[in-house]
Structure 1
Amino acid sequence: MSEDLQHIVVMGVSGSGKTTVGEALAARLGWRFVEGDSFHPPENVAKMSAGIPLDDNDREPWLRALAAEIAKDEAAGSPSVVGCSALKRSYRDILRTGAPRVCFVHVHGDRTVLADRLSHRAGHFFPASLLDTQLATLEPLGPDEDGVVVDVALPTAEQVDLAIQGLGN
């Protein structure tokens, strides 16, 4: 395994564009993209679909499954990009157990922009009514965390450019 092998988690609240930015970033870097939502157990999806926010106990198995997926890529010598809300530092700490270098791209923006995006999103289990609970839970990246913040209002290509520059890729 290479010392410079890394895994990038594109994080943020629902509606921030984690999947869009993550897929674009992975395509630009030639890395695999992992959609974190597909790792939620059915119980989590049912809770969120019913408008019930997840708690730490709900999120822990999901985060550990994503950390295991990162570890699998690390063992294969393959960098990856993962889309995951990673709202709290403790959640990011779990994700960091998957590999020596897991860094973060926080797609962040104004609540009004996020709410508007969620109101126009079809076919997703996460209702717009849970946005405020995610914003209340969100702990921004600490100064000692390996990561960069990009503005949700920027075009995707610019967000990807800033992420690559900020992470030194």
Structure 2
Amino acid sequence: MFRKGKKRHSSSSSQSSEISTKSKSVDSSLGGLSRSSTVASLDTDSTKSSGQSNSNSDTCAEFRVKYVGAIEKLKYNESKSLEGPLDLINYIDVAQQDGKLPFVPGEEEFIMGVSKYGIKVSTSDQYDVLHRHALYLIVRMVCYDDGLGAGKSLLALKTTDAASEECSLWVYQCNSL
């Protein structure tokens, strides 16, 4: 009844190459600027060059960061004014001056992994996960000099909830831009 043979396997492999051809033509018609084409090429390159295990094969890049703090559950009317990068930077600066966020992060270093699914912040041994930020919930990401003269940069991440009723700001410190 069912045949196991080359014909069956070749049809599935031709189907997968057909799919990749279609996705390439779609990406090239957009000038190579689509998110999927960029992520796919980064995934392929990072997996081949780093020789990572299958569990981390989706991670495109990893960065060492320190967690500064977060301002969570801002209501929609409060977050409406945080549209541009300067708005985020100014809001974080005022929050630091008001004591809502510290100027200096804790000593513990974390690994920020960026993948096609979003951002994961985990302990340096990657055993415990501190935060997960799904890609579709990330509204804006801004990296800027912290202004303290130590050559450090702050990475601000604005996320929303699934219903887009509230937003949160997550602040990390990294060594350089």
In which range does the TM-score fall when normalised by the shorter chain? under 0.3
TM-score normalised to structure 1 length: 0.27
Which structure has more relative contact order (CA 8 Å, sep 6+)? It is: 1
**Higher strand fraction: Structure 1 or Structure 2?**
2
TM-score normalised to structure 2 length: 0.26
**Higher helix fraction: Structure 1 or Structure 2?**
1
